Amino acid sequence: MKLSPLGSKPDWTLLDAFARSMSRAEFEKAWREIYSQPNSLPPPFEITQEALLVPGGQTGEPPRRVSFQSAADSADRPAPPGFWRSASRLPPLQGRPVLSDLVIALDPGHLGGQWAAMEERLLSFQPGEDIREGDLSLLTARVLKQRLTDLGAIVHLVRENAEPVTSRRPQDFDQDARQLLTESGFASPTESYLGLVGDAKLLTVQWQREKLFYRVSEIHARGGKVNHQIRPDIVLCLHYNAESWGDASAPQFSPLNHLHTLVNGCYANSELMQQDVRFEMLMRLFGRVHEEELPLASAVAEGMARSTTLPPYVYTTPNARRVNDNPYVYARNLLANRLYLCPVVYLEPYVMNHEETYRRLLAGHYHGRTLIGGRLVSSAIEDYARGVVDGLVKHYQKHRRNS
Ligand SMILES: [Zn+2]
- Bridge partners, 235 (sequence order): 105, 344
As a whole number of angstroms, the distance between CA 159 and CA 334 comes to 18
Binning pLDDT at 50, 70 and 90, where does residue 40 land? Answer: confident
241 CA distance to ligand 1 middle (Å): 6
69 CA distance to ligand 1 middle (Å): 39
* pLDDT score of 75: 66
Tell me: pLDDT of 117 over 70.
yes
Which DSSP symbol is given to 1? -
Where do the H-state alpha helices sit in 69-172?
133-150
Q: What is the CA radius of gyration of the chain?
A: 22
* pLDDT score of 401: 95
* pLDDT score of 362: 97
* pLDDT score of 322: 97
As a whole number of angstroms, the distance between CA 159 and CA 163 comes to 8
Task: Dump pLDDT digits (tens) for 153-205.
Answer: 999 999 999 999 999 999 999 999 999 999 999 999 999 999 998 899 999 99
Residues 6+ apart with CB under 8 A from 69: 20, 21, 22, 23, 26
* pLDDT score of 77: 67
109 CA distance to ligand 1 middle (Å): 5
* pLDDT score of 1: 66
* pLDDT score of 305: 98
For the chain, what is the mean pLDDT? Answer: 96
Instruction: Compute the average pLDDT of residues 60-71.
Output: 92
Amino acid at 131: I
Q: What percent of the chain has pLDDT over 90?
A: 93
Q: In terms of Cα–Cα distance, which of 189, 188, 219 is closest to 207?
A: 189
Amino acid at 196: L
334 CA distance to ligand 1 middle (Å): 11
Please give all residues whose CB falls under 5 A of ion ligand 1, grouped by chain where several chains appear: 109, 239
Task: Dump pLDDT digits (tens) for 242-284.
Answer: 999 998 999 999 999 999 999 999 999 999 999 999 999 999 9
Instruction: Compute the average pLDDT of residues 113-133.
Output: 97
* pLDDT score of 58: 77
Determine the 3-state secondary structure of 17 from DSSP. helix
DSSP run (H or E) holding 283? helix 275-286
Please provide residue 309's backbone torsions phi and psi, each rounded to the nearest 5 degrees.
55, 25
As a whole number of angstroms, the distance between CA 138 and CA 135 comes to 5
Whole-prediction pTM? 0.96
Where do the H-state alpha helices sit in 340-378?
355-362
- Whether residue 348 contacts residue 110, with contact meaning beta carbons closer than 8 Å, is answered with no
